[in-house]
Amino acid sequence: MKKDSRVQHEFDYLKKQHPKIKQQVEATKKNRLWHNEAIIRNKIRDLKKLPANNLSGYKQIYDGYVGLLEQVSLRLLDNYNKTNKTDYHFKEVISGNFKVYLNSGIISVLVTNHIPKIVAEEFNRLIPENPKDEYPLARKMQRKFFLHLGETNTGKTFNALQRLKQSSNGVYLAPLRILALENYERLNNEQLPCNLLTGEEEIIVAGARHYSCTVEKANIQDFYQVAVIDEIQLVSDSQRGDAWTRAILGLCCPEIHLCGALNAKEQLMRMIKDCGDDFEIKEYSRLVPLQVQRAHVKFSDVKYGDALVAFSKRRVLALSRYFTERRMKNSVIYGDLPPEVRRLQYDSFINGENHLLISTDAIGMGVNLPIRRIVFTETQKFDGEEFRLLSSQETKQIAGRAGRIGIYDVGYVACMEGDISFIENQLLVQDNEIEQAVVGPSEAILIIGGLPLKEKLALWSTKEESLEYYRKKDVRDYILILDKLKPYKLSEAVEWRLMLLPFDVNSEELLSQFICYVEECFSLKSGELSKPVLESHTLAAFEKYYQKVNLYYSFSKSLNLNFDEQWVYKTRKQTSDQINRLL
């Protein structure tokens, strides 16, 4: 049988070199002459192609190269262990992976086979298959949930808060900082001392035993007599839903009130039953009817008490300029506005100083306002990935803001452009049921060794949930932050805290400021961060400056750094006033 000419050449060469190979192996053992691992593995691959039965001493040659490979691999593994502060053993690494080792080398086997196997075993040991079992304190309690579910503007949260006010201690968990702020002020004004805790501020009131918080700040170690969780349908949100899931599963509280949309009912019942807790359901309907106006609204038709809804900041500001130029004063609401500015804008509309409200869909989640008519200026929105038509739930959340008991006994809904029958159908159609709650990674992941936090998060995200009514959080923003932190070789505990900071990682300016703070804190060893600087006096610059001040606060607070807290509150107030004036 004809042999390949290259293999034949190697065959002849190895026959001549046989004595030298044995000497080389021995010399390596005595003199620690380390050879390049890849070269040795290539030799082994070539040997495998040769007809061993025709080569005298083939086994000795083959064993010699395998032994040589082992010596080099031991050195590589030792270097890896010293660099990464690990203690992996050669025989354990190649056990069951010998063929891969001969083809790819010790480090490849280590990082692609051995470490992932160990980490997977640790995941199974430390992170329960059922998310509810991550909260042993709550599992020891018998809890009862009260589900306040129904349409927007029907008194769900109001009724739940009555129970909170009657409790000796409790917590209100909000989806937005402005709602946490609003209820903090309401409770204190009603002579019920209440603390405020969000990612951007912490206000402790003397003698207070109640908290108004953003949902991410829920403390699952403390005991509360009554808890209220608002906008509970956000349990399915891919970015933030894990905070609602964590609160439902983990709050140590015998009486928990959940307020939100009716399409969350079945999912909430599954979760509560799985926890072994009791529940009652109260469904709410509107007392003020909604009436769809079929004729398209023109700019000249806009009247006092109308709220115009658009789906971009640019469109909202353009509409505001249009009506301002025609001497029709208006309040403006969109996502980038600080909560202090939103409140000022709301107040100007409520007290009649401004005749119109012009808003993005941010209006769908927030305070109840005296709105006569909701006017959709468009029926499509960009959701971060694509332009799409509004969902039924989005349409209902926005349209439901029309009408107010005692002010407007009918709430009207209309369109400026698009098919009004689409809006009408979306108001009538039954919402798609929420089928899954989102779960996020827990701090137990920090205990697991063997891989950097970034790789552990990636591995966690690919591990399927054992229960079909849970799904993993989108961790792409976390991965982005951890990529940026890699050069600084921080502890995982510090990386964890930094990746959870509440700022928009997709903003180049904010991400750049974040990296500057990491540099100051860990490379320059500064005990205090530099304060952000206002770049110009435009509306966009003030909005970004406000966000930078928030990052200065949250970064300092997270790492217990010295910082000028009074400057933060003073600067926020001044910046909010400037933004409000520019609007």
Strand pairing category for 356-359 and 330-333 = parallel
Which pLDDT does position 1 carry in this prediction?
A: 42
Distance from C-alpha of 401 to C-alpha of 75, rounded to nearest angstrom: 69
Q: Which residues contact 131 (CB under 8 A, 6 or more apart)?
A: 245, 249, 439, 465, 467, 470
Instruction: Count the neighbouring beta carbons within 10 Å of the beta carbon of residue 227.
Output: 27
- Rounded to 10°, the helix 539-558/565-582 angle is 160
Over residues 240-258, the mean pLDDT reads: 97
Round to the nearest angstrom and report the end-to-end CA distance of the chain.
Answer: 88
Residues belonging to the chain: 583
Mean pLDDT computed over every residue of the chain: 88
Question: Which amino acid is residue 477, in one-letter code?
Answer: D
CATH of domain 290-428: 3.40.50.300
pLDDT in tens, 125-176: 888 889 999 999 999 999 999 999 998 888 899 999 999 999 999 999 999 9
Q: Which of 136, 164, 291 is nearest to 221 (CA)?
A: 136
Domain map (residue ranges) of the chain: 5-126, 132-284, 290-428, 441-582
Measure the CA–CA gap between 72 and 33, rounded to whole angstroms.
9
User: 119 in helix, strand or coil?
Assistant: helix
Using pLDDT thresholds of 50, 70 and 90, give the confidence band for residue 54: low
pTM (whole model) above 0.85? no
Lookup result for tokens 């520019």: 582
- Checking if the pLDDT of 21 tops 60, the result is no
- Range from 248-252, 309-313, 388-392, 533-537 that averages highest in pLDDT: 248-252
201-218: burial string, b at 16+ Cβ within 10 Å, e else: beeebeebbbbbbbbbbb
> What DSSP designation does 472 have?
E
Neighbours of 444 (CB within 10 A): 14
Backbone φ and ψ for 464, nearest 5 degrees, come out as: -70, 145
Give the fold, CATH level 3, of 132-284.
Answer: Rossmann fold (3.40.50)
Band of pLDDT at residue 29, cut at 50, 70 and 90 = very low
Residue holding tokens 């697991």? 448
Q: Tell me the range of 9-23, 95-109, 294-308 where mean pLDDT is highest.
A: 294-308
Helix axes 476-485, 453-462, angle to 10 degrees: 160
Confidence of residue 385 (pLDDT cuts 50, 70, 90): confident
Give residue 404's region: left, alpha or beta (phi > 0; psi -120 to 50).
beta
> Residue written as tokens 């009207």?
412
- C-alpha radius of gyration, the chain, whole number: 31
CA 316 – CA 453 distance, rounded (Å): 41
Residue 66 has pLDDT above 90, yes or no: no
- Residue 351, pLDDT score: 93
CA distance 394 to 28: 72
Domain 132-284 shares a fold with domain 290-428: yes
Complete edge-to-edge strand list for the sheet that includes strand 194-197:
202-203, 194-197, 210-214, 170-174, 226-229, 255-260, 144-150, 278-284
What crossing angle do the helices spanning 58-84 and 5-31 adopt, rounded to 10°? 60
Alpha-carbon 8 to chain mean position: 60
Q: Which of 25-34, 76-85, 434-443, 558-567 has the lowest mean pLDDT?
A: 25-34
CA–CA dist 383, 390 (Å, integer): 10
Burial class (CB within 10 angstroms; exposed 0-12, middle 13-18, buried 19+) of 38 = exposed
- Residue 19 clears pLDDT 70, i.e. is over it: no
pLDDT at 188 over 50: yes
Largest CA distance in the chain: 104
Lowest-confidence region among 5-9, 95-99, 423-427? 5-9
